[in-house]
Amino acid sequence: MTKEKQLIIQQSDLTNNCPECYNQDLTLTFYQRHSYGKLYHRTTADVTHELRCNKCNSIIYPVKWTEDIERSFNYYQKTVSPARASIRFTALFFILILLLICLVGAGVYWYLQERPFLG
């Protein structure tokens, strides 16, 4: 089973008004998805975001955004630099590959010992 985590790649404070409580204490957070398995760690290119008011502690969805919030969001979205999408293999993966190579080599050696070369 792979575990998926959303890691924070950028968090910014906004001074725009909250549509719920009209306070000027908003936090815009960008996340990148990472998958952790027994054989590999994968970093995906998926970037998600969340806009939260720090006073009323509510998540502000894009439907309720004002033009000012949308303008600020577009600016901060351009400044986000996520990690490249990649796959890193764990030590268990390399141990299994090495074990497989050794088993194939032993099988070939045993096969050649049973049938001597012609000549």
For all residues of the chain together, what is the average pLDDT? Answer: 90
Answer whether residue 115 shows pLDDT above 90.
no
Answer whether residue 95 shows pLDDT above 90.
yes
Give the tens place of pLDDT for each residue, 39-78.
999 999 999 999 999 888 899 999 988 899 999 999 999 9
Answer yes or no: are the C-beta atoms of 11 and 28 closer than 8 Å: yes
Answer whether residue 1 shows pLDDT above 90.
no
β-strands 86-89, 26-36: how paired? unpaired
Residue 117 binned pLDDT confidence (cut-offs 50, 70, 90): low
pTM: 0.76
| 3-state SS assignment for residue 65 | coil
Answer yes or no: are the C-beta atoms of 65 and 73 closer than 8 Å: yes
Residues of the chain by 3-state class (helix, strand, coil), percent to 5:
35, 35, 30
For residue 39, what is the enclosing H or E element? none
